[in-house]
Structure 1
Amino acid sequence: MPVDLVLIVAAALTAGYLLGRLRPWQALGNWAADQIRSSGAWVRGGRGHQACVVLAHAVTAPRTSWRILRTPAAGGREAATAPVRDPHWAANRTRTTHTDQGDTA
């Protein structure tokens, strides 16, 4: 067996082992999903950054990307309004009575 072939096979096995250990495909998918979930950096990153994130997500998670594209936007083009927070939620909550008395006599 020629020495060149042995070196090529050894390099291929080593590269396969390292790719299996590092899992770059999974890391790229996790990064893209995290970027899409947050509304921070990827929105402000510009069109080039957004295109890279969407492309990475479409390549690493095609079913999820297709499902997201098929789902209609909630409420059309209007911006989502922030929920109204009640600062006195503890005082305004309703009290529930439990019918289960447990082991009391």
Structure 2
Amino acid sequence: MTALAALAVTGALTAGYLLGRWRPWQRLGDWAADQVRSAGPWARGGYARQATVALAHILTAPRTSRRILRTHAAGGREVTAPVRDPHWAANRTRSTDQEGTA
């Protein structure tokens, strides 16, 4: 093994270690997920910024991106209020009343 080959192997191992510690792929994914979650500046940033964020999110989290794209928007459906039982205290079972007591 020549000195140049040993130097190249050492440099590649060092670069791999540093990239593993720095985790640029995970950092890019976290940034993209944060941008997608908030409807803040990424939505107002224009088409280039939206395309960059969407591409980064698709590359770093393909399963999540696929799930988001398959989910229907809630705009067309009515969201109903939860049904409340006015007699909730009378309908409790005895075992649930005694669970918290010692």
Report the TM-score, using the length of structure 2 for normalisation.
0.75
CA distance in 2 between partners of 1:44 and 1:7 (Å)? 48
CA drift of 1:63 comes to 0.3
Give identity over the alignment, percent.
64
CA distance in 1 between partners of 2:44 and 2:7 (Å)? 47
Unaligned runs of 5+ in 2: 77-85
CA drift of 1:72 comes to 1.0
CA distance in 2 between partners of 1:38 and 1:64 (Å)? 16
Alignment RMSD = 1.9
Mapping 1:15-94, distance limit 5 Å: 15-76=15-76
CA drift of 1:15 comes to 0.5
Deviations 1:14-61 (A, max 9, x none): 010001100000000000000000111101111000000000000000
Report the TM-score, using the length of structure 1 for normalisation.
0.72
CA drift of 1:3 comes to 1.0
CA distance in 2 between partners of 1:10 and 1:55 (Å)? 33
**Count of matched residue pairs:** 85
SS at match of 2:39: coil
